[in-house]
Amino acid sequence: MKPNNKKFLMDQLSDYQSGTMNSGRREIVDKWFGKQNRVSPDILSDNLGDEIFDVINKKIPVNKPKRTSLFWAWSVAASLLIFFAATLLFLGKVSRSRDPLRPAAYTTYLTKSRPRHLILEDGTSVDLKPGSLFRVMAGLNKSSRRRVFLDRGEAFFKVKRDPAHPFIISSGNYKTTVLGTSFIINTNSLKKTYTVSVKTGKVRVEHQVGHTFRILSAGLIKNQVLHYDELTRKTLITGGEKVRQTGKENYLTTSIEQKTLIQIGALISKAFGVKVDVREQAVPVKYTLELDYYNLEHTLNKLAMQTGIRYELNGHSLLIIPGK
């Protein structure tokens, strides 16, 4: 818009908003705005103000006094700017309220009591654990970045390799990027933990803080497990863990060799973000066993079967009681 026209419109808007515009002009502005605010926002353009301003001037009858013409130009121009301002506010609200995850753009999978096996349109296979919430972006195979969302639970991914189209799994504030590999992700929003275990290939794991992403691992490789605790802001990367697969059941396992219950309790604490206390044994015993990192209760039950321990779990506190 021309500088002179823009200043003119701004002055009129100031009078309208401050209440100094006389009642006759305000009534004309209100009536005009009541008609024009139904215009669809998608017809707006950068030059619309100049175009309508020119049209208004052309429509002013030449045989009317100049003062009357100026009065009409002021009134309509002021209402025009008010309409622009209201429209911009409306578009801003619409833009902010648009949910980028709206149902129309995503396919949602919610597993309750049973696991579920999926083959995505790009050829990637996904095994969802019970209690998982998973979403797939529409047009996955047509996008430059293949994006999916694991909002809750655990899933095993076997990603179809495509270097030109990275595969991204978002889980809340976490982002895992791969080209072609297989791995497990476990996200727990209640305990605020995030675990990635790589079976094949290489993955990049990031955590969003504010508007920036912090790299938790630039290259997590085969047989490595990353565990991040959001409460303590600590990242634990370990090797030697295996991704075991039985049919379609995938879960994290770790081999423990010659470790005491206190040392095993420390591993459980890091894996699940709980405070662990172990009652002292009269004669310390070292154990060799395997634990599954499927969930805490499952892990404790398996530990009890292999060592004879009892346990008391109260919220985020765990007490391990050695067997007799």
**pLDDT for 100 beyond 70:** no
Question: Is position 248 within any domain?
Answer: no
Give per-residue burial for 69-95: e unless 16+ CB within 10 Å, then b: bebbbbbbbbbbbbbbeebeeeeeeee
Give residue 52's domain range.
3-97
Residue after which a domain boundary falls, among 69, 97, 125: 97
pLDDT band (50, 70, 90) for residue 22: low
Q: Which of 153, 149, 154 is nearest to 106 (CA)?
A: 149
What tens digit of pLDDT does each residue of 175-234 get? 999 877 889 898 888 888 999 988 888 899 999 888 888 888 888 888 888 889 888 888
Residue after which a domain boundary falls, among 77, 97, 117: 97
Residue after which a domain boundary falls, among 97, 128, 160: 97
Question: Is position 255 within any domain?
Answer: no
Q: In terms of domains, do 295 and 270 share one?
A: yes
Q: Residue 184 maps to which CATH number?
A: 2.60.120.1440
pLDDT in the model for residue 104: 45
pLDDT in the model for residue 101: 44
Q: In terms of domains, do 87 and 116 share one?
A: no
- Residues 6 or more apart from 297 whose CB is under 8 A from it? 313
Average pLDDT, integer, range 138-151: 87
Q: In terms of domains, do 294 and 225 share one?
A: no
Question: Is position 314 within any domain?
Answer: yes
Highest-scoring range by mean pLDDT, 166-180, 261-275, 284-298: 166-180
AA letter at 281: Q
Q: In terms of domains, do 111 and 208 share one?
A: yes
Q: In terms of domains, do 223 and 275 share one?
A: no
Task: Work out how many domains the chain is built from and give that number.
Answer: 3
Question: Is position 88 within any domain?
Answer: yes
Q: Which residues does residue 212 pair with via DSSP β-bridges, in sequence order? A: 209
Mean of per-residue pLDDT scores for the chain: 75
pLDDT band (50, 70, 90) for residue 269: confident
